[in-house]
Structure 1
Amino acid sequence: MNYTITLNPAIDRLIFLDEKMESRKTNRITDVAYDIGGKGTHGSYAMSKLGVKNIALGFIGGLNSDKFQRILDAKGITNGFTTLKGQATRECYVVIDHDSSGTTMLTERGVKLSRNDVDTFMTNLQKTVKAKDRVLIAGSLPQGFSLEDLKRMIRLLKEIGCFVACDLSGDALKLAVEIGVDFIKPNEFEVKELNRAEENIVTTLQILNQKIPYIVVSLGKDGSYCIHEGDVYRVKSPPVKEVNDTGAGDCFVGAFLSGLTKNYSIEETLRLASACAASKVMHNDSTTFNLDEVSDLKQQVEIIK
């Protein structure tokens, strides 16, 4: 079974404008839509759409849990979220203008966990996952969940024998590298921070690959690097018209794990993940991608080994 852990999920409120947003001006909203937010939940959606069974785990606030659950149901995401009474799941406001010159995101801080909340989650997680399950930990850490808690969770999953994938940033990413998880997806700036002594990105990847089996470095619209078993792959994404890039990287990760689950080759997996991410940016919301588009875009993905 595949699992995603989104400790600080969100409800994405998509705000559409007919002109580019400007300060000191009345920016008129033409439409509002809602989507699921949080990197792990986006990964769950991608896996579900690609036919890979998975369960989304994490914390949600009880005050707006019905609204959150309706979006999960609409997206076909099976979940076992832990509900926190008296709190609300955070909302992220994603502003999208008519000219599609890029999105602007404003995000709330989210839920605050007690020590009992964290301990109960860890206990339930230990009872739920099994050896050889794939677990994706993605997104920001909520208030009350420390780096020590993250270390405890990753080590717990590794002791059970899970494949641990992490889409994290900052100190959380450094911790995942230190422990030695199975997959990470830093961007080009984050990967340089992981090895400041080495300027060459390929050399850095080769060093990290001695400890981490799968590494993907996101280059945005320019594609990605991937290294596995010492082989470096330069992936060039197909050119597409960008509407909303929010969630594209998360879509890539969910599709990548889907490829591994289906025992695809690394090249097939990269082709699938890149095509799904490219399709995602062509759509308004934070998760949607089109399987027919993916089929066409896969043929346009360039991979150089």
Structure 2
Amino acid sequence: MIYTVTLNPTIDRLLFLEGTLTKGKNNRLEKIAYDIGGKGHHGSYAMNQQKVKNQALGFCGTTNENKLEKILADKDIQHDFVEVYGKATRESYVILEAEVGGSILITEKGFRVTDYDSELLYEKIESKVQKDDIVLIAGSLPPGFELNDLEDLLNRLKKIGCFIACDLSGEALKKAVEIGVNFIKPNRFEIQELIPSEANFLDRLRELSKKIDYVIVSLGKDGSICSHAGELLQVSTPIVGLVNDTGAGDCFVGTFLASFSLKKPLKECLSLASACAADHIQYSDSTTFSIKAARKLQKKVTIQTLT
């Protein structure tokens, strides 16, 4: 079983412009659509495409819960949230310009959680997670949930003995490395912050890998590098037309962990994850991709061993 934990959930509001975004101009919308937001939720959707059983955990606000529930139902994402009464789940605004690839993302901070809310989440997680499970903690920390709370959560999971994957950034990522989780997915700049030294990039990655079982470094359009068991693998990404790249990294992580849970070889986990992320960016929303189309793109993914 895989559990995804989204501490700072969001609803993605997709704003489709008639033209390009121009300051000082009345920028007209062609249409508005909604999608599930939050890195862990995106991961759950990706896991569903491989029919891997998973459940989304975390917090949600009650004042717009119906809107969130409808999107989750549309995406067939099984969930069991801690409800924070009187609060609204935040919205993220994804701006898509006509005939322009990529997106502009604007996010709200999210509602404040209390120590009581956090304790309810800990109890829920501890009642569900078993030693053989995988837990993905992804996204930003909400107001009120501090680094010491993240440390508490990670230590509880370490005590259970499950596989802990973290798709975090900044100080939260540093805390995950300090605790010694099993999987992280930083970018090349975060590697420099995690291992501040005069060593080159690959040597820093090797150093980091002494503590973390699986380190996958995102290189954007240049693919990724995976470090595991003393081996460095460079993974390419198929070239496709870019529509919306929001959620591409989450798609990669969710697909990788789903394949990993199915005991697939590491190279197959990596190549399918890269292909799914590539297929995803051809869609306008934050989650959609075709596993069938991705398996065709997978044949174009190359994986080389670095020395």
TM-score interval for Structure 1 and Structure 2 normalised by the shorter chain: over 0.9
Structure 1: distance between partners of 2:114 and 2:296 = 48
Tell me the residue number matched to 1:102. Answer: 102
AA of the residue aligned to 1:274: S
Gaps of 5+ in 2: none
Contact 1:60–1:111 (Cα < 8 Å) also in 2: no
Tell me the residue number matched to 1:8. Answer: 8
Q: How does 1:42-121 map to 2 (within 5 A)?
A: 42-121=42-121
Structure 1: distance between partners of 2:126 and 2:190 = 30
The alignment-based identity, stated in percent, is 50
Structure 2: distance between partners of 1:200 and 1:247 = 29
AA of the residue aligned to 2:131: A
Q: Does 1:133 align with 2:133?
A: yes
Structure 2: distance between partners of 1:288 and 1:136 = 20
Contact 2:13–2:32 (Cα < 8 Å) also in 1: yes
SS in 1 for 2:45: helix
Tell me the residue number matched to 1:192. Answer: 192
Tell me the CA shift for residue 292 of structure 1. Answer: 2.2
SS in 1 for 2:63: helix
Q: How well do the aligned residues superpose, as a CA RMSD in angstroms?
A: 0.8
Tell me the residue number matched to 2:246. Answer: 246
State which drifts further: 142-151 or 97-106. 97-106
Tell me the CA shift for residue 70 of structure 1. Answer: 0.5
Contact 1:225–1:233 (Cα < 8 Å) also in 2: yes
Tell me the CA shift for residue 192 of structure 1. Answer: 1.2
State which drifts further: 274-283 or 104-113. 104-113
Tell me the residue number matched to 1:289. Answer: 289
1:105-132 deviations in Å (ceiling 9; x for gaps): 1111112111111112112211111112
Aligned length: 305
AA of the residue aligned to 2:216: V
Tell me the residue number matched to 1:207. Answer: 207
SS in 1 for 2:83: strand
Tell me the CA shift for residue 18 of structure 1. Answer: 2.2
- Structure 1 residue runs of 4+, over 4 Å off? none
State which drifts further: 36-45 or 93-102. 93-102
Structure 1: distance between partners of 2:142 and 2:295 = 37
TM-score by length of 1: 0.98
Contact 1:188–1:217 (Cα < 8 Å) also in 2: yes
SS in 2 for 1:31: strand
AA of the residue aligned to 1:182: N
TM-score by length of 2: 0.98
SS in 2 for 1:204: helix
Tell me the residue number matched to 2:175. Answer: 175
Contact 1:279–1:293 (Cα < 8 Å) also in 2: yes
Gaps of 5+ in 1: none
